[in-house]
């Protein structure tokens, strides 16, 4: 992976912009917004995805594969930390002296002169951002936003609004979330991750402390997550709105019913109790809603109307997303890629599947995360009835000797429920054979595992 050069000044006018890795969840939203502002956008990506197709419809010229000839003559090049330092487009841009900026710098460019609500955390960022955007729209606001996933009800991950508010998903993976002029910070949780970048859990939490301290107006933060509690202790002279189950929380969550396809709960705030039912499942989504509620009431919106608006949230792409059904077996996809996320996603899926069985098809992401958390992944995944484990989606890391998906499968206490299938082509038939009418198959991971969904449906057909 490349190390972002945040010393590179951002041009006053980005001009014609070339995105290296334009199909990424963060990059695509920024590219779409720049096109909406009148910028000419080109880009490249490894695969021709639905996201790439949407950007082409908006007018972007996009090349598949990375090649120096793709660069053309841009005024600015936008990159992500996931790129290899040998990327030919990146190297040519540096050689030609074209300003190369990190995607967080491009996002900071978009948010300048706006009142920024930045959502950070190891899990729940995309959903919480979507809930805040949905809530604001229901309250009559027209916010700008850039999210890490498509908001289902809007069918977009970004848009330019007319109000002063700009809601963003702030990525903590490489420290780039410190580069925004944040007015309101929401910290969903601080569960140790990205230790390949930070080196230690203490360093990870310290960076969140700096992020929170940078918020000009207030910080909404979990009262339950241990890491978030430690970060809260680092905050000085800031207005803090806590949310969670503990009695001392500013926004107290209780009476959660996550036993079905929807989750119901109550929020206690400022001496009043408010009830809601979401159209998405899982206790974790009730917690996400509490965080979004904390942001809206912190901004001064009416509590009852805020929660009513948040309740209209219909989910985001790749978060327990149903793709189809064959032979009575439903196939879902989920982005979960950390043990805590995996556990929450499986718990929610089990509540929905009822008497059926859950078959999780898991693709580990990153060698370092797999090496450090193999046992935790196995413990979380074991809540499924059957688990198929693939090999690792490498992303931005070099392979590590001896580190494969087998580390996860070998860590299962019950070896009868886990199937290590390293070859992609073999997985659909294995998963389809395990499933029967009334069961769910759920692909899981933040790599390219979503591409297997059509193959699974086809295997079920056969």
Residue ranges of domains in the chain:
17-103, 113-310, 321-461
Determine the Cα–Cα distance for residues 18 and 42; give it in Å rounded to an integer.
5
Determine the Cα–Cα distance for residues 272 and 253; give it in Å rounded to an integer.
12
Tell me which residue of 153, 197, 151, 152 sits closest to 171, measured CA to CA: 197
Q: Is residue 224 exposed (0-12), middle (13-18) or buried (19+ Cβ within 10 Å)?
A: middle
Question: Does position 176 have pLDDT exceeding 80, yes or no?
Answer: no
Q: What is the pTM of this model?
A: 0.83
Determine the Cα–Cα distance for residues 295 and 84; give it in Å rounded to an integer.
37
Q: Cβ–Cβ contacts within 10 Å for residue 300, how many?
A: 7
Compute the average pLDDT of residues 104-123.
Answer: 91
The pLDDT assigned to 196 comes to: 57
Determine the Cα–Cα distance for residues 169 and 146; give it in Å rounded to an integer.
7
Q: Which long-range contacts link 68-71 to residues 24+ away (Cβ below 8 Å)?
A: 68/92, 70/18, 70/42, 70/44, 71/18
Residue 330 catalytic? Answer: no
The β-bridge partners of 330 are 325, 440
Tens of pLDDT, residue by residue over 302-312, are 999 999 999 99
CATH among 3.30.70.260, 3.40.50.720, 3.30.360.10, 3.90.1300.10 for 17-103: 3.40.50.720
The hierarchical CATH code for the domain 321-461 is: 3.90.190.20
Determine the Cα–Cα distance for residues 68 and 76; give it in Å rounded to an integer.
15
Q: State which fold the 113-310 domain adopts.
A: 3.40.1190
Tens of pLDDT, residue by residue over 36-83, are 999 999 999 988 888 899 999 999 999 999 999 999 999 999 998 778
Determine the Cα–Cα distance for residues 420 and 408; give it in Å rounded to an integer.
9
Question: Does position 240 have pLDDT exceeding 90, yes or no?
Answer: yes
Residue 125 catalytic? Answer: yes
Return the top range by mean pLDDT from 19-33, 232-246, 367-381, 389-403: 232-246
Active-site position among 169, 207, 386, 397: 169
Q: How many residues does the chain have?
A: 462
The pLDDT assigned to 192 comes to: 65
Determine the Cα–Cα distance for residues 213 and 65; give it in Å rounded to an integer.
41
Tens of pLDDT, residue by residue over 359-379, are 999 999 888 889 988 999 999
Active-site position among 42, 51, 80, 126: 126
Query: What pLDDT band is residue 123 in, cutting at 50, 70 and 90?
Result: confident
The pLDDT assigned to 1 comes to: 64
The pLDDT assigned to 175 comes to: 61
Determine the Cα–Cα distance for residues 405 and 403; give it in Å rounded to an integer.
7
Active-site position among 42, 89, 111, 125: 125
Determine the Cα–Cα distance for residues 158 and 144; give it in Å rounded to an integer.
7
Residue 325 catalytic? Answer: no
Question: Does position 424 have pLDDT exceeding 80, yes or no?
Answer: yes
């Amino acid at each position: 992976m490349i190390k972002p050069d945040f010393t590179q000044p951002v041009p006053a006018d980005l001009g014609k912009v070339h995105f290296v890795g334009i199909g990424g969840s963060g990059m695509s939203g920024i590219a779409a917004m720049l096109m909406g502002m009148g910028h000419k956008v080109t880009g490249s990506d490894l695969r021709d995805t639905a996201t790439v197709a949407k950007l082409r419809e908006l007018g972007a010229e996009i090349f598949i594969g990375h090649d120096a000839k793709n660069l053309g003559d841009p005024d600015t090049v936008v990159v992500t930390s996931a790129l290899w330092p040998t990327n030919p487009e990146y190297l040519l841009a540096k050689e030609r002296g074209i300003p190369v900026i990190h995607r967080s710098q491009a996002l900071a460019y978009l948010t300048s002169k706006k009142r920024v609500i930045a959502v950070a955390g190891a899990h729940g960022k995309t959903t919480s951002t979507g809930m805040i955007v949905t809530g604001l729209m229901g309250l009559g606001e027209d916010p700008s936003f850039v999210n890490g996933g498509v908001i289902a009800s809007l069918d977009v991950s970004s848009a330019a609004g007319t109000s002063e508010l700009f809601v963003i998903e702030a990525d903590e993976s490489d420290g780039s979330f410190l580069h925004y002029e944040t007015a309101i910070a929401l910290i969903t949780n601080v569960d140790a991750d990205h230790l390949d970048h930070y080196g230690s859990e203490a360093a990870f939490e310290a960076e969140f402390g700096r992020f929170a301290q940078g918020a000009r107006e207030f910080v909404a933060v979990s009262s339950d997550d241990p890491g978030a509690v430690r970060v809260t202790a680092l905050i000085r002279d800031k207005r803090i709105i806590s949310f969670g189950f503990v009695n001392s929380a500013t926004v107290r969550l209780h009476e959660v019913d996550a036993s079905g396809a929807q989750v119901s709960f109550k929020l206690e705030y400022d001496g009043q109790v408010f009830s809601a039912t979401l159209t998405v499942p899982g206790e974790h989504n009730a917690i996400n809603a509490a965080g979004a509620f904390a942001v809206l009431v912190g901004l001064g919106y009416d509590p009852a109307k805020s929660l009513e608006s948040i309740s209209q949230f219909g989910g985001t792409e790749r978060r327990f997303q149903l793709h189809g059904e064959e032979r009575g077996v439903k196939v879902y996809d989920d982005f979960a890629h950390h043990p805590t996320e995996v556990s929450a996603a499986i718990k929610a899926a089990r509540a929905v599947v009822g008497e059926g069985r859950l078959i999780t098809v898991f693709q580990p992401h990153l060698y370092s995360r797999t090496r450090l958390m193999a046992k935790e992944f196995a413990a979380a995944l074991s809540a499924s009835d059957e688990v198929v484990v693939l090999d690792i989606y490498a992303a931005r890391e070099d392979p590590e000797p001896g580190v494969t998906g087998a580390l996860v499968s070998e860590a299962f206490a019950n070896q009868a429920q886990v199937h290590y299938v390293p070859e992609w082509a073999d997985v659909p038939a294995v998963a389809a054979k395990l499933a029967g009418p009334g069961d769910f198959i759920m692909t899981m991971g933040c790599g390219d595992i979503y591409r297997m969904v059509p193959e699974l449906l086809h295997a079920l057909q056969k």
